[in-house]
Amino acid sequence: MAARNPAPSAGTSRLRWGLRVRGTVQGVGFRPWVFRLATREGLGGFVRNDSQGVWIEVEGGARAVEAFPELLRAGAPPLSRVEGVETRALDARGETLFRVAASDSQSETGTAVPSDAATCVSCLRELFDPSDRRYRYPFVNCTDCGPRYTIIRDVPYDRARTTMNFFSLCAACRKEYEDPSSRRFHAEPNACPDCGPRLEFVRAGTAPLLRADALEAAVAVLRDGRILAVKGLGGFFLAADAGREDAIRRLRERKRRPHKPFALMARDLETTRRIGMVSDAAAGALCSPAAPIVLVPAIPDSGLAASIAPALSEYGLMLPYTPLHHLLLTDGPAVLVMTSGNVSEEPIAKDNECAREKLSGIADAFLLHDREIHARSDDSVVRSIASSVQPVRRSRGFAPDPIALGFSAPPVLAVGAELKNTVCLTRGSNAFLSPHLGDLENPETFAFFEETIAKLERLLGVSPAAIAHDLHPDYGSTRWARRSHLPLLAVQHHHAHIASCLVDNGGLRPAIGVAFDGTGCGPAGDLWGGEILLADLDGFRRLGHLRPIALAGGEAAIRQPWRLAVAALADAGEPLDLLTAIDAARRNAVLRLLDKRAISPLATGAGRWFDAVAALLGLRNEITYEGQAAVELESLAGRRDGTPLPFELDSDAVGALEVDLRPTVRAIVLARKRGEESGQVAADFHETLAAVILESCRRARTETGLDAVALSGGCFQNRRLTERAASRLAADGFDVLLHRRIPPNDGGLALGQAAIAAWRLIHGGTT
């Protein structure tokens, strides 16, 4: 958005213009950039932060003033995002010098809150320069890097409104902070060893250690194969030497996490290439200011503990993104397991005392600091898919960056799903998706959910006019919405998935939507999850779906995939003796449940078919974390070429397309009896679903005339399925829309809910 500039001036007369700059323009070095630019161009005036973003007044020769807006955009700092520059003519005042004015707080809030950024090259150079006054100081930062969202209490973004207000700047830091030519000008977390946060090492039975002694003791704990709790940027992490199998097994036992993979932090990019197959896209993500965890294929026999990622063929890798990380990795082991500092499914711990209480049964020692974390923010996770990077978990480094909606929306709060919850708040033409919150069935996570909603409303200056929620009546987010006393807009789960993909791709036009996930509530209360939709923000129509499978025992079938295998075999008319690992009495007991719909509801979920096939192949009969059977099935398939197994396309009772996978089940049974390699059957199953998607979309194109296909839902975290489906569709002339900035799983659902609800409020659309 940019307003038209005032009419050009003839000649060289003196002008004064006011410029309103909106976007992510606070806490990212924008005012120093404006100061340097205006001074270079010989202009007078001032720049200041306010609740709308940045306000600038420039005065000088007509040509210089008229050229200023374009120069401003062209050289904006790397962490900034300019969404709009509006200009208007003002009366000249005769100012010849340019200054940075004090921030002005107004009643309306219109600026964007910056996300946290990894340590920049300049700060890293200082960190390891013995002649620098910040040598080995664990909290070095500048306007190009460091904490932002995690320390902000309120806007405008000034030190007094952050958790750094506790620390008084020393004379040297004050000089930098007030010097517009310094890269630390109004770097709100600016500090040094004389005036800033300090480390503290705590271990039971020993006296606390401070500063350099604390770091040295922490490194000794890691080298000794022990577990260290580290206070990071957005919360605590549990660290251990990734090369020590005994340390990793001890961490699993204490954290009660038997199989779920651990993330790894490597000393540098060269080290990541020794343990993972790091593509150019993955390297770009690793080295970006967001510095997420990047999922990459693992290199076998790299010397790391075998229990880091059991039954999987990839690692989640990240690089150090704070000075403290760099120091730990430089002095200690070259690769650390760095996993969230929490118990079970609770939110990541953020306060020193809380962490010592919650994590004392896991960690052998604690590396603390005294800078308060105001907002939790777990590590983001991305995956390289189809030559691009796709978020799996959007949090630190990305949230709460604005997402353009493509239209001006009324203020809507969307409260997301039950699992992988995020919330979303709209303001103007942007949506602001919160960091990853977690699973709302946990009371501590639910409190975090409420805390995050309040923080977003305060920072964005928005009071929602309505709340969007899922159709599922038992989601904690739905129950919360119903207690809010605000107008409610219910949004169907899979419609929200497709809408999030449309917004992610900057388009509002109708598309064929393929929504493949586990289970979500359909309009009639039935369970959906393998859907072909005609969808836009205004509404959707179900064009097709997978043939439903019975969830024998309800939720128990999700925790025990062998129950789904029983249902699939029974539906296909096959005997149950393939499931040799399950006692016959248990198999038959589940078989008797299948016709009892109250306890064995039917579900079309594509995710449930991944679970069933994993059990049919003897890969996974019970799971210990969400999605385990599916990710292990993908890993089992490896890089083998696949051939589609048979399936049929029929019509359901209302004439919609129904994809019948009973022939697929029969083919898998035959393959098992022939002794075919399980990995090949897994590859064939992935190829089958890619073929299902292509044939379903062909039918949908014939019916609708559309050739745009949006792929969304948790199943499209699967690299193999996504790449094969996208490749087949593109070869057949489809315009394929994949997620690029928002996760395809339920972590992106709130964005779709918000967009649909806002559109409905404006246009009166229907579900």
Q: Name the amino acid, one letter, at 323.
A: P
Residue 298 has a pLDDT of 96
The CA distance from 504 to 743, in Å, is 9
**DSSP code string of 169-199:** PPHHHHHHHH-TTSTTTT-TT---TTTS--E
The CA distance from 248 to 225, in Å, is 9
3-state helix, strand, coil in the chain (%, to 5): 35, 25, 40
Closest CA to 229 of 373, 337, 355: 355
Instruction: List the beta strands (DSSP E) in 64-129.
Output: 81-90, 98-100
Number of H helices, E strands in the chain: 22, 30
Range 114-121 average pLDDT: 94
Range 253-280 average pLDDT: 96
Digit-coded pLDDT (tens) for 225-234: 999 999 999 9
Report yes or no: 193 and 137 within 8 Å, Cβ to Cβ.
yes
Tokens encoding 549: 């499978």
Range 386-390 average pLDDT: 88
Digit-coded pLDDT (tens) for 296-308: 999 999 999 999 9
**Phi–psi pair at 33, nearest 5 degrees:** -65, -45
Hunting for tokens 């149950």 — which residue is that?
A: 576
Residue 508 has a pLDDT of 86
Q: Does the pLDDT of residue 698 top 70, yes or no?
A: yes
Q: Name the amino acid, one letter, at 45.
A: G
pLDDT over 70, % of the chain? 97
Tokens encoding 591: 């078989």
Residue 212 has a pLDDT of 96
Residue 155 has a pLDDT of 80
**DSSP code string of 623-663:** -SSTTHHHHHHHHHHTT----PPP-EEEE-TTS-EEEE-HH
Range 689-701 average pLDDT: 98
All CATH 3.90.870.30 domain ranges in the chain, comma separated:
113-385
The CA distance from 560 to 581, in Å, is 13
Digit-coded pLDDT (tens) for 360-377: 999 999 999 999 999 999
Residue 109 has a pLDDT of 54
Output the CA angle 350-351-357, nearest 5 degrees: 105
Residue 1 has a pLDDT of 38
Helix (H/G/I), strand (E/B), else coil: 427: strand
- Binned at pLDDT 50, 70 and 90, residue 338 comes out as very high
Closest CA to 24 of 430, 500, 501: 430
On average, the pLDDT of the chain sits at 94
Q: Does the pLDDT of residue 11 top 60, yes or no?
A: no
Query: Before 400, cis peptide (omega within 30)?
Result: yes
Tokens encoding 716: 């499209």
H-run or E-run covering 530: strand 527-535
Alpha-helical runs (H) found in 197-291? 211-223, 245-255, 269-275, 280-286
The CA distance from 401 to 209, in Å, is 38
Say if residue 733 is exposed, middle or buried (CB neighbours under 10 Å; 0-12, 13-18, 19+). exposed
**DSSP code string of 549-591:** EE-TTTHHHHH-HHHHHHHHHHHTT--STT-TTS-HHHHHHHH
Bridge partners of residue 542, in order along the sequence: 533
Residue 78 has a pLDDT of 83
**CATH 3.40.50.300, applies to 113-385:** no
The CA distance from 147 to 151, in Å, is 6
Angle of the 662-674 helix axis to the 561-571 helix axis, nearest 10: 100
Report yes or no: 134 and 127 within 8 Å, Cβ to Cβ.
yes
The CA distance from 494 to 88, in Å, is 45
- Binned at pLDDT 50, 70 and 90, residue 22 comes out as confident
The CA distance from 603 to 700, in Å, is 22
Q: Does the pLDDT of residue 108 top 80, yes or no?
A: no
Report yes or no: 35 and 72 within 8 Å, Cβ to Cβ.
no
Q: Name the amino acid, one letter, at 8.
A: P
Sign of torsion, CA 719 722 728 732? Answer: negative
Q: On the CB side of 412, how many CA atoms lie within 13 Å of its CA?
A: 30
Residue 10 has a pLDDT of 52
**DSSP code string of 671-718:** HHHHT--HHHHHHHHHHHHHHHHHHHHHHHHHHH---EEEEESGGGG-
In this structure, of 68-82, 162-176, 379-393, 405-419, the range with the lowest mean pLDDT score is: 68-82
The CA distance from 216 to 220, in Å, is 6
Bridge partners of residue 624, in order along the sequence: none
CB neighbourhood size of 106 (10 A): 12
Helix (H/G/I), strand (E/B), else coil: 318: strand
Class of domain 14-100: alpha beta
Residue 82 has a pLDDT of 87
Report yes or no: 729 and 694 within 8 Å, Cβ to Cβ.
yes
Report yes or no: 43 and 64 within 8 Å, Cβ to Cβ.
yes
The CA distance from 302 to 282, in Å, is 19
Range 711-722 average pLDDT: 97
- Binned at pLDDT 50, 70 and 90, residue 186 comes out as confident
Tokens encoding 170: 């020393």
The CA distance from 69 to 422, in Å, is 36
Say if residue 372 is exposed, middle or buried (CB neighbours under 10 Å; 0-12, 13-18, 19+). middle
Range 193-199 average pLDDT: 98
Residue 766 has a pLDDT of 42
Q: What is residue 725's DSSP assignment? A: H
Range 417-435 average pLDDT: 96
The CA distance from 739 to 484, in Å, is 31
Hunting for tokens 């539906």 — which residue is that?
A: 571
Q: Does the pLDDT of residue 84 top 90, yes or no?
A: no
**Phi–psi pair at 355, nearest 5 degrees:** -65, -45
Bridge partners of residue 381, in order along the sequence: 293, 393
Buried b (16+ CB within 10 A) or exposed e, 672-694: beeeeebbbbbbbbbbbbbbbbb
CB neighbourhood size of 361 (10 A): 10
- Report the residue count for the chain: 767
Q: What is the CATH number of domain 550-714?
A: 1.10.357.160
Give the Å distances, CA to CA, from 631 to 285, 637, 716, 719.
Answer: 22, 10, 11, 10
Hunting for tokens 């704070």 — which residue is that?
A: 322
Report yes or no: 410 and 761 within 8 Å, Cβ to Cβ.
yes
Digit-coded pLDDT (tens) for 631-678: 999 999 999 999 999 999 999 989 999 999 999 999 999 999 999 999
The CA distance from 506 to 499, in Å, is 11
